[in-house]
Amino acid sequence: MTPAARVQAAIELLDSVIAAAQGKGAPADRLIADYFRQRRYAGSKDRRAVRELVYRAIRVCGPVPSGGRAAMIALGAEDQAILQLFDGSPHGPAPLASGEVAAEPGLAPRWLVEALAGSGIAGGEAAALLDRAPLDLRINTLKAGRESIDLPDHGEPLAAPNALRFPAGTSVDQWPAYREGLVEIQDHGSQLACVAVDAQPGETVIDLCAGAGGKTLALAAAMQNRGTLIASDTDRARLANLAPRAERAGAGMIETLLLNPGREMEALERFVGAADAVLVDAPCSGTGTWRRNPEARWRLDQAQLARFAETQDRLLDLAARLVRPGGRIVYVTCSLLDIEGAERIAHFLAEHPEWRAEPPDLPLGRTRGSGVRLTPFHDQTDGFFIARAALPC
């Protein structure tokens, strides 16, 4: 592919990403993979170059662009060499028309920028949300240790007890240690959220919104494969991904439980008042993950944000029914908005006066309300809000 053809391919992909964001369709990485699956002629260098153009353009645009061409012109305002490729050459973009307008640059749609600022995320804190994230690994202590594991690159030891950091793009999935389950890809902030659970061998722990089970696997390692560990979710497809991951990791203690949305207690009835800990890794806006999924900021609207808050309240109420006296809830969202973090745990504590706040003692993060907030700017992690609440005996 010529440089101009790469720009045109990026424009076409951006059109798809924008349409998917507006229609709550497939994420950008899947659209890019599908695009090149149908274009086998594109070599690996072409695929990397086009992908880089797409993500650079996404990061530049604040509000949702009118189209891929406007997004690429916005990127060209920062990199004039790109605009020179709008030359009308074969397979390249048509020349720029008189008065053609670039997409609006910025962090996000205006209402969302204001919401973040109201939650203390502005200036450098806000700008860091669109940096490129590193690659973090968790050493699986069911099979290895940080001091003894043999990796092609030693990585940078982090604050979480089994965390290592590598440059973005490191081909970890090609390492024997990854294929054999000695390491798992997991952001440092996500690992610290699991540290906050303080899961112990022999306990009964419920990962209420387990998804594909990244945090569940970390909890199994902390529990040394001893006790009861329930991975529950309403998403059958995501939950199905956990079994092969658990087998590879040697995490044989995990029991998966598919929940019926709105009727979760039917499946969880046997655990009422029995859990030592419930992890509520609640569905949220994902504002803390923009470094990895920058187009996510185009998918969110105010009505959806309000629905997330309602779901988070309901899940906390459900978790409270499962915990025994002396037990704990750990509430986690990968969001930097107070409406999904500090405000939700404050609402829970107001509605459940028998519970008390027990802020987690973590090596990173800053206090936010009754919890701790991790940010890309201060902590070099994805953005997280983490809170603990305890039910006295």
Strand ranges inside the chain, DSSP E: 135-139, 156-157, 163-166, 183-185, 204-207, 228-233, 254-258, 275-281, 323-333, 356-357, 366-368, 371-374, 384-390
Among 292, 305, 274, 284, CA closest to 384: 284
CA 200 to chain centre: 25
In this structure, what token pair is assigned to residue 189? 């902030």
Q: Position of tokens 């294929």? A: 179
The catalytic position among 194, 284, 334, 393 is 334
Q: Residue 236 gets which letter from DSSP?
A: H
- In the annotation, is 284 catalytic? no
8 A C-beta contact, residue 377 and residue 370:
no
Count of Cβ atoms closer than 10 Å to residue 358 Cβ: 17
8 Å CB contact between 360 and 196: yes
Which residues, 6+ apart, have CB-to-CB distance to 40 below 8 Å? none
Biggest CA–CA distance in the chain, Å, is: 74
Of 48, 23, 18, the C-alpha closest to 33 is 48
End-to-end CA distance of the chain: 67
The first and second tokens of residue 252, run together, are: 């044989």
**358 CB-near residues (< 8 Å, 6+ apart):** 328, 388, 389, 390
The token pair that represents 64 in the structure block: 């949702």
- DSSP assignment of 82-118 equals HHTT-S--TTSPPPPPTTPPPPPBSSS-HHHHHHHHH
Instruction: Round to whole Å and give the CA distance between 343 and 347.
Output: 6
CA distance 299 to 210: 22
The Cβ of residue 148 has, within 10 Å, a number of other Cβ atoms equal to: 7
Active-site residues: which are they?
Answer: 334
